[in-house]
Amino acid sequence: MPKLTVNGVEVEVPAGASVLQACEEAGVEVPRFCYHERLSIAGNCRMCLVEMERSPKPVASCAMPAGDGMVIRTDTEMVKKAREGVMEFLLINHPLDCPICDQGGECDLQDQAMAFGQNDSRYDENKRAVEDKYMGPLVKTIMTRCIHCTRCVRFSTEVAGVTDMGLLGRGENAEITTYLEKAIDSEMSANVIDLCPVGALTSKPYAFVARPWELRKTESIDVMDAVGSNIRVDARGSEVMRVLPRLHEDVNEEWISDKTRYACDGLKRQRLDRPYLRKNGKLSPVSWDEAFAAIAAKLKGLKGAEIAAVAGDTVDVESMYALKGLMTALGSPNLDCRQDGAKLDATTRAGYLFNSTIAGIEDADAILIVGANPRWDAAVLNARIRKRWLAGGLKVGLIGAPVELTYEYEHLGAGPQTLTEVADGKNAFATVLKDAKRPMIILGMGALTREDGAAVLATARKIAESTGMLVAASTDADGNEIPAWNGFNVLHTAAARVGGLDLGFLPGKGGADVSGILEGASKGKIKAVYLLGADEIDTQRLGDAFVIYQGHHGDRGAHRADVILPGAAYTEKDALYVNTEGRVQMGLRASFPPGEAREDWAILRALSAHLGQALPYDSLDQLRAKLRSENEIFTEIDVAPVAEWGPFGTEGAMSDTGFGTTVENFYMTDPISRASKTMAECTEVFVLPKQGRTGTEG
Amino acid sequence: MSGIDIAENQPESFAFTPENEAKAEAIISKYPEGRQASAVMPLLDLAQRQHDNWIPLAAIDVISEKLKMPKMRVLEVATFYTMFNLKPVGKYFLQACTTTPCWLRGSDQVMKCIKDKLGLENHQTSEDGMFTLLEVECLGACANAPILQVNDDFYEDADYESTAKLLDALKKGEVPAPGSLSGRNVSEPEAGAQTLLSYKDNGAARTYDPKISAGETGEK
């Protein structure tokens, strides 16, 4: 623990910390461009120069390890001159195009030139010009602005795990580019836009759209996957302009996937902005009262068992809770939140959570992935596995369809047979898991959305128990506490899933699950189906049932609906979501739903009154208070829970079919991303060519 | 002028000759397991020598596969060093040094001669495909400045006339002996050796003569 003095303040920093980190510890701001906490150190921008006692020259603080007894100064004439000099050099070839630059207003170079530069340049010669590069449909390049900090190169190599980016040439001729100007083939590629300290890499869909100071910033939660990435939604008026990541060390660090970032343009298209009612086979706009009256007329006289409800993948906890309340009041046991038919078991909470937590991946030393493609199922979580893999000593095994991941793995087998071998200790990887201190199993939806899903779940549970994945808290010889470890993890793909399971949005006694509901509807046993944002089911099989669709996009569900109730998308409501770890998080409203659309819980509350079964709350606060009194899981916001281990899964025979993966196209998984133009472009550039190569294309 | 000059017409494939393949394996085996990427520069050089003094992208692919490193990393190395050519060059690849010592000793005259004789500017190749000019930084032979490097050989102490003579000879297909164009022995003073006179000139190398060493004035 070296102790050093920064501007007369003594600080102690962990061994291996840099002088720059010591300065931050002392509360001293050091300007920088190339240095980034989460990337390797390059030391090439020289902006972080500080004065060190007994050093004749200023030192680059980001690359200088903090040593005991160092005396650092950042407030001297030497440092001021050094910063001015570096800034002058950086600006020699940087164009003065801030007025037309999208980075303007949130540009590190602009800010630091104001704070640390001079107001004049002594350079009269021509500035250099660099040709712009193609980097795909998301990243726009204006390479003349580049200052060669190489953050983007280090990010794509280290975090995203693609090696396409690099710095070609040298000196004045240096240029950042991708290999032969290919698009950056990564689900995390757009993070380079945030990392770029200047306007060289900017957002293509957001080009010339808005200025940062015009935007209203709202902190929210992403629903494109089950990671629950923390996001900031920037809106102007009623329009969501862009989505940016928000720092959360335990969830997404400071990255988000490209879908999270760019699907937001889908919020403007295909929206349901008024209620519709099917009259003579055609959907026509009606008033809320007419729509409610039509539903009331239809449901009147139906028995509870003849009504069913399915909750979609992006819906919030409150609306599911309201719908569950309504269905219970109507006497229907036919509820399900598992559109994909995953055989998840809600009896034990630990049986459907990512128990190790996302941050816990960094402690793991052996991971068995079963029926998942983490890169597409949860891109940000995959980056965490890569981070752990880069640190060394991690063994990864995969059972299921071989997929392209950003780390090396051993492909153990295709299906349940291999899984049984591991469970029985007959596979070599079982020994790897047993020998590991912190072994993990990641069970994907590809393994659970099968007929034998419950048996797969039980086998996975057996592996967790037999290979020592459940470690109780203990203290070591020195009296240090070793925290408990639960290596059993379910990787969900739907943002609403864990919340739904926590609420018990599941078939009641004698109730039908999703396949039962579809079966019943096609046979005419179930006469009315309430789809709450549920678009991923086979709507063909709904038969002649009366379908009420509540949601925000005119997608599959709405096309089949008899009544459409326009709801709010995730950026348009205050709502709770539970991520795959079981972490309850709160999203805030960034803009209002379009037209006559309303917040979802409020629609259900209003409908319940029309049906004569008024739900016992009149405001979101009252709803939440009631929800919390019934289920204390929702009391604590943003806490990764520790779930008790218990029995789950049903032992049984498993088929020989290999595990598949559920996400077929990363860029289009829900109504919002399906309506997004940007996601369509990404699909064309990244997904279709690959599918063409493997011969599985349409 | 962009520094990244990659040929537009690329050959479809590249493979090391069996002889060079063996050399490549020998080079790679010098480095410890897991550090094979260190062999990237000698391998690029090998590919360049095999392929008319330039490296096609197909060779980058071959090398990246051989060393298990990303193509981009190989290309970065190949573009960083001016010694690697990524597009065809003339039969005689002229590298004229214009760094301070060479410039003080008249590298401008060398450049002017090349311009007059061949009509070449920096980075240009003559129409007959005989010559390519590249202005380079210090070649590390400042004692014999200015330097003009032709393929692998240094021609030293160049001035306008001697450069013209050299270029004429090259045009005719003759390759003059490399070394000082002014006729001096390696980097001795122009007027001949001033020190270590006890060493007798014996061709290029000097041998020790004990008589001179003892103080007797010997013949130079």
pLDDT tens profile B86-101: 999 999 999 999 999 9
Closest CA to A367 of A378, A380, A356: A356
State both tokens at A638: 């943003």
Closest CA to A143 of A90, A202, A88, A212: A202
Residue A669 has pLDDT above 50, yes or no: yes
Nearest CB partner across the interface for B72, out of A165, A170, A174: A165
Residue B196 has pLDDT above 90, yes or no: no
> Once rounded to an integer, what is the mean pLDDT over residues A353-370?
96
Whole-angstrom distance, CA of residue A283 vs CA of residue A341: 29
Residue B132 pairs with which residues in a beta bridge?
Answer: B93, B125
Q: What's the whole-number average pLDDT of chain A?
A: 94
The pLDDT tens digits of the residues spanning A79-102 come to: 999 999 999 999 999 999 999 999
Q: Tell me the three state secondary structure of residue A609.
A: helix
Residue A510 has pLDDT above 60, yes or no: yes
* A121, A87 Cβ separation under 8 angstroms: no
Model confidence band, residue A480 (pLDDT cutoffs 50, 70, 90): confident
Which residues of B touch chain A, with CB atoms under 8 Å apart?
2-4, 57, 70-73, 75-76, 79-80
Which residues of A touch chain B, with CB atoms under 8 Å apart?
130-131, 163-175, 177-180
The pLDDT tens digits of the residues spanning A523-577 come to: 999 999 999 999 999 999 999 999 999 999 999 999 999 999 999 999 999 999 9
Whole-angstrom distance, CA of residue A623 vs CA of residue A600: 12
Whole-angstrom distance, CA of residue B220 vs CA of residue B218: 6
Q: Percent helix, strand, coil in chain A (nearest 5)?
A: 35, 20, 50
Closest CA to A676 of A376, A136, A242: A242
Residues 6+ positions from A685 with CB-CB distance below 8 Å = A136, A137, A183
pTM: 0.91
Residue B219 has pLDDT above 50, yes or no: no
Locate the chain A residue with the closest alpha carbon to B71.
A179
pLDDT number for residue B220: 42
> Once rounded to an integer, what is the mean pLDDT over residues A378-385?
96
* Count of A-B CB contacts under 8 Å: 44
pLDDT number for residue A696: 47
More confident residue, A345 or A208: A208
> Once rounded to an integer, what is the mean pLDDT over residues A127-144?
94
Whole-angstrom distance, CA of residue B159 vs CA of residue B181: 8
Locate the chain A residue with the closest alpha carbon to B3.
A173
CB contact under 8 A, A173 and B73: no
* B96, B111 Cβ separation under 8 angstroms: yes
Percent of chain A scored above 90 by pLDDT? 93
Closest CA to A182 of A131, A134, A132: A134
Chain A residues closer than 8 Å to B80 by CB? 168-170
CB contact under 8 A, B4 and A172: no
CB contact under 8 A, B4 and A175: yes
DSSP assignment string, A320-359: HHHHHHHHHHHT--EEE--TT------SSGGGSSBTT-TG
Locate the chain B residue with the closest alpha carbon to A165.
B72
Q: Tell me the three state secondary structure of residue A230.
A: strand
Residue A279 has pLDDT above 50, yes or no: yes
Give me the residue label for tokens 């726009």.
A140
Chain B residues closer than 8 Å to A167 by CB? 76
pLDDT number for residue B1: 39
Nearest CB partner across the interface for B76, out of A130, A167, A180: A167
Nearest CB partner across the interface for A166, out of B2, B57, B75: B75
CB contact under 8 A, B4 and A178: no
* A252, A245 Cβ separation under 8 angstroms: yes
Nearest CA-CA distance, residue A174 and chain B, Å: 7
Residue A167 has pLDDT above 70, yes or no: yes
Locate the chain A residue with the closest alpha carbon to B79.
A169
CB contact under 8 A, A166 and B72: yes
pLDDT number for residue B200: 63
Which residue type sits at B63?
A: I
Residue A397 pairs with which residues in a beta bridge?
Answer: A368, A410
Whole-angstrom distance, CA of residue A135 vs CA of residue A203: 11
pLDDT number for residue A694: 47
CB contact under 8 A, B3 and A131: no
pLDDT number for residue B188: 84
Chain B residues closer than 8 Å to A180 by CB? 57
Residue A683 has pLDDT above 80, yes or no: yes
Model confidence band, residue B21 (pLDDT cutoffs 50, 70, 90): very high
Residue B203 has pLDDT above 80, yes or no: no
HSE (side-chain half, CA atoms, 13 Å) at B153? 12
Closest CA to A401 of A424, A430, A377: A377
Model confidence band, residue B3 (pLDDT cutoffs 50, 70, 90): low
Model confidence band, residue A478 (pLDDT cutoffs 50, 70, 90): confident
The pLDDT tens digits of the residues spanning A35-81 come to: 999 999 999 999 999 999 999 999 999 999 999 999 999 999 999 99
Residue A366 has pLDDT above 90, yes or no: yes
Whole-angstrom distance, CA of residue A348 vs CA of residue A643: 8
pLDDT number for residue A698: 42
Nearest CA-CA distance, residue B154 and chain A, Å: 24
Chain A residues closer than 8 Å to B76 by CB? 166-168
The pLDDT tens digits of the residues spanning A204-243 come to: 999 999 999 999 999 999 999 999 999 999 999 989 999 9
CB contact under 8 A, B3 and A171: yes
Residue B218 has pLDDT above 60, yes or no: no
> Once rounded to an integer, what is the mean pLDDT over residues A671-690?
94
Whole-angstrom distance, CA of residue A577 vs CA of residue A575: 7
Residue A576 pairs with which residues in a beta bridge?
Answer: A586
Whole-angstrom distance, CA of residue A316 vs CA of residue A299: 25
DSSP assignment string, A349-368: GGGSSBTT-TGGGGG-SEEE
Closest CA to A16 of A52, A72, A67, A77: A67
Residue A442 pairs with which residues in a beta bridge?
Answer: A369, A489
Biggest alpha carbon–alpha carbon distance for chain B: 69
Q: Tell me the three state secondary structure of residue B214.
A: coil
Whole-angstrom distance, CA of residue A22 vs CA of residue A3: 9
Whole-angstrom distance, CA of residue B133 vs CA of residue B150: 10
Chain B residues closer than 8 Å to A166 by CB? 72-73, 75-76
State both tokens at A486: 């639960």
pLDDT number for residue A476: 84
Residue A695 has pLDDT above 80, yes or no: no
Q: What's the whole-number average pLDDT of chain B?
A: 89
* A337, A311 Cβ separation under 8 angstroms: yes
How crowded is residue B173: how many other Cβ atoms within 10 Å of its Cβ?
8
pLDDT number for residue B208: 59
Whole-angstrom distance, CA of residue B47 vs CA of residue B62: 10
Q: Tell me the three state secondary structure of residue A689.
A: helix
Model confidence band, residue B209 (pLDDT cutoffs 50, 70, 90): low
Burial per residue of A179-190, b for 16 or more beta-carbon CB atoms within 10 angstroms, e otherwise: beebbbbbbbbb
Closest CA to B129 of B53, B214, B24: B53
Nearest CB partner across the interface for A163, out of B2, B72, B80: B72
Has the ipTM of the complex gone over 0.90?
no
pLDDT number for residue A475: 87
